[in-house]
A and B are shown apart, each in its own frame.
Chain A
């Protein structure tokens, strides 16, 4: 049972344009969501997060939007840069249990073309 889904395996955008990466989840107990970025041969690195009490969180060029009723979140990158080319993973956790366990989506490969 895939509790966190990223339905787009890949995305290609032009440098300077907006990149929008999407993520859906099924478990209504999830109340904290994170995005990780992964370059080849490296481990994932934390990018941005959002609590379920918010619907938007912004950090520089990166903004995460959360729509709890639709169980959907998205990551916006504006403007996109070639260095943003990587695999992006959406992850979710639940305060219940309080273990820090993350459930990851399958990832979306972003390519930003110069």
Chain B
């Protein structure tokens, strides 16, 4: 099966600019996650979708970050305006079930550098 697809792989922007990331999950996976991984840290959940509804966005900085999953398939994550501390790898993951013991399948991530 095809894996989780993410684009772009790399992005460099200046602070206060905006940026968007795209994710296409594994076909048939109802649950989609966006994680932020800052260098030297583990991935941190930003937002979780079940189909096209938000399940958990408690750690999403809503003043600058937004995400949507139209039609319950692919998803976009946007940052506007970006700050230096947003420099990180943004990982998209999907799973077939929204249960606590379903392994997540991750994409290769988008590395964002904010200068």
Contacts and interface: CB of A to CB of B under 8 A. Distances in A.
A1 interface: no
Chain B interface mostly:
loop
A104 B43 contact: yes
Contacts, number: 71
Interface residues of A, number: 30
Chain B interface size range: 20 to 34
B67 interface: no
Given A43-B4, A99-B56, A104 B44 contact: yes
Interface of B: 4, 31, 33, 40-45, 48, 55-56, 91, 93, 95, 97-109
A11 interface: no
A20 interface: no
26 contacts: A4-B42, A6-B42, A31-B100, A32-B101, A41-B108, A42-B108, A44-B43, A44-B91, A44-B106, A46-B103, A46-B105, A89-B43, A93-B100, A98-B98, A98-B99, A99-B48, A99-B100, A100-B95, A100-B99, A100-B101, A101-B45, A102-B45, A104-B42, A106-B40, A106-B42, A107-B41
